[in-house]
Amino acid sequence: MNTPPQPRTEPAPAVALRGVRKTHGRHASAVQALDAVDLDFFAGTFTAVMGPSGSGKSTLLHCAAGLDRPSAGTVMLGGTDLAGLSETALTRQRRTRVGFVFQAFNLVPALTVRENILLPSRLAHVRPDRRWLAEVVERVGLRDRLRHRPAQLSGGEQQRVAIARALSVRPQVIFCDEPTGALDTTTAARVLALLRQAVDADRQTVVMVTHDPVAASYADRVVFLADGRIVDDLAAPGVDAIAERLAHLGAARAGGEAPSW
Ligand SMILES: Nc1ncnc2c1ncn2[C@@H]1O[C@H](COP(=O)(O)OP(=O)(O)OP(=O)(O)O)[C@@H](O)[C@H]1O
């Protein structure tokens, strides 16, 4: 007997942007950083966001993460429309549903590694899952560094603390802004492998802004921005294809109108 076809259910996106616009500044100095961006980031996927300098990558990340509010359009994080939230509710969403990894690590210098990793749980008033934390600390290779302060660690070690901190509350999405920008190639590879592992082993969702085609090649998908718009969306491209697409975007930009003084 044939079984009837099952209705296909599309997975819900971890983050969905619809018609997102963002204007920085006002009047004559206003800059349209994002222009009607529609984008879904699905659970358990790793997306790289690339584009020339000033194309709107950081603005996109900040709007998607609830660090900044769009001028128009909607951002849904795990099914919640961020626009409808008060500042307090938005902060709560960020603390429990979002992890961040920045180029400059952004650890709290006065706190130990252990305290930095526990910080999101403390701020969100949630009881840390000790078994999960032990697993995370093991994974990032920091067991013998827990009592150190950030200044006593190398850049790569500090970024691994930042990744452990981001993973600590098992957020819906981890947003990374140039996470390997300050690291050498070998150290960067270790950091990228940790992000990849979070996606593959834990179905974590990672969204990473990067200028580096090698870093972007760790992603399942690369989204290209130019002048605040999505201009391309490639599934698992290799380093060469990414570099080529980026070079084209850079060349198109360089050929734009010369500024008038
Ligand atoms: N706070 C701000 N006030 C005014 N303009 C801003 C502000 N933040 C960003 N912009 C402008 O918005 C545009 C997009 O900036 P954004 O930082 O998102 O680009 P980016 O692609 O991340 O650039 P980069 O790769 O250089 O970091 C740029 O023209 C930038 O100058």
Q: What is the average pLDDT across 10-27?
A: 89
Q: Is the dihedral of CA 232, 238, 241, 246 positive or negative?
A: positive
pLDDT at 24 over 70: yes
Which residue's CA is minimally distant from atom 7 of ligand 1?
24
Domain residues of the chain, as ranges?
Answer: 45-57+87-254
CA of 115 to the centre of ligand 1 (A): 32
Substitution candidate for ligand 1 out of 37, 57, 67 with most atoms within 8 A of CB: 57
Q: Tens digits of per-residue pLDDT, 138-156?
A: 999 999 999 999 999 999 9
CATH code assigned to 45-57+87-254? 3.40.50.300
Complex ipTM: 0.97
- CB atoms under 10 Å from CB of 253, counted, come to 15
Residue 97's SS3 state is: helix
Residues within a 6 A CB radius of ligand 1: 24-25, 31, 33, 51, 53-59
CA of 206 to the centre of ligand 1 (A): 22
Beta carbons of 156 and 164 less than 8 angstroms apart:
no
| Ligand 1 atom nearest 62 alpha carbon | 18
CA of 55 to the centre of ligand 1 (A): 7
d(C-alpha 100, C-alpha 85), whole Å: 20
Q: What is the pLDDT of residue 28?
A: 83
Q: What is the pLDDT of residue 2?
A: 60
What the block records as the tokens of 50 is 């690339």
What the block records as the tokens of 261 is 């003084």
* Backbone dihedral region for residue 236 (phi beyond 0: left; psi -120 to 50: alpha; all else: beta): left
- CB atoms under 10 Å from CB of 85, counted, come to 16
